């Protein structure tokens, strides 16, 4: 006779293998290294600082009606 196998365990093992295979594909497709994520975040912070540094604080009150006269 052949080997006796537990069908529940075999089904769960197959499901885990399918899930692992899908996860591996997603890691390749969407994954980025820690260095890539860090580089992107530092670049975003640099751009935000540059934009904030160039921002004007506010308009003076007496300049709000220029051109209305």
**Each residue of 45-58: pLDDT tens digit?**
999 999 998 888 76
| Distance separating alpha carbons of residues 23 and 31, to the nearest angstrom | 10
H helix or E strand, kind and range, residue 28: helix 7-30
Q: Is the dihedral of CA 36, 38, 42, 47 positive or negative?
A: positive
Would you list the domain boundaries of the chain?
7-53
Q: What integer pLDDT is reported at residue 40 of this predicted model? A: 93
Q: What integer pLDDT is reported at residue 54 of this predicted model? A: 86
Q: Tell me if residue 42 falls in helix, strand or coil.
A: helix
In which residue ranges of the chain is pLDDT below 50? none
For 24, other C-beta atoms within 10 Å of its C-beta total 11
Per the listing, tokens 């904030």 go with 52
Q: Tell me if residue 23 falls in helix, strand or coil.
A: helix
């Amino acid at each position: 006779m052949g080997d006796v196998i537990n069908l529940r365990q075999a089904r769960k093992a197959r499901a885990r293998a399918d899930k692992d295979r899908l996860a591996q594909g997603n890691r390749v497709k969407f994954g980025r290294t820690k260095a890539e994520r860090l580089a992107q975040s530092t670049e975003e912070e640099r751009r935000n600082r540059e934009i904030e540094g160039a921002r004007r604080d506010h308009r003076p009150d007496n300049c709000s009606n220029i051109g209305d006269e």
